[in-house]
């Protein structure tokens, strides 16, 4: 593999939270159901597990909530992170959770009573 020319995959897609778990190190593992057929075909899966790092802030996402998911593929030995002194390669592949923006419910203007 040509490491210098390898780019991590960046994703923004419509998704629905199916489940999540917090581990003992305060990482949150989210399981999303992808709702975009093109994205399912491109990734060759309809589910995506994303890891939210302990220092990452995100409004609470409720199971069943739909919205727009942004995440980035992290490649072992390729993608680097800054430890405060130097860049270090990640040790394993995963998807890094960046943000989730929930869909807002549309209000039917005919149902508003003034």
Lookup: tokens for 13: 């897609």
Alpha helices, DSSP H only, in the chain?
Answer: 37-43
Average pLDDT over the chain, rounded to an integer: 86
**What's the average model confidence in pLDDT over 102-114?**
71
Q: If you count them, how many residues does the chain have?
A: 114
- Domain range for 51 is 3-111
- What is the model's pLDDT at position 1? 46
Lookup: tokens for 97: 């959770």
pLDDT digits (tens, 9 = 90+) for 22-67: 999 999 999 999 999 999 999 999 999 999 999 888 899 999 999 9
Q: What is the CATH number of the domain that holds 28?
A: 2.40.50
3-class SS at 102? strand
- What is the model's pLDDT at position 75? 85
Distance between the two ends of the chain, CA-based, in angstroms? 64
Number of domains forming the structure of the chain: 1
Burial class (CB in 10 A: 0-12, 13-18, 19+), 82: exposed
- What is the model's pLDDT at position 6? 59
pLDDT over 70 at 2, yes or no: no
């Amino acid at each position: 593999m040509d490491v210098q020319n390898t780019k991590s995959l960046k994703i923004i897609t419509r998704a629905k939270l199916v489940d999540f778990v917090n581990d003992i190190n305060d990482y949150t593992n989210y399981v999303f159901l992808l709702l975009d057929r093109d994205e399912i075909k491109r990734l060759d899966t309809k589910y995506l597990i994303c890891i939210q790092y302990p220092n990452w802030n995100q409004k609470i996402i409720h199971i069943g909530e739909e919205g727009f998911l942004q995440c980035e593929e992290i490649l072992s030995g390729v993608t680097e992170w800054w430890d405060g002194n130097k860049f270090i390669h990640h040790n394993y592949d995963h998807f890094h959770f960046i943000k989730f923006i929930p869909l807002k419910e549309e209000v039917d203007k005919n149902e508003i009573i003034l």
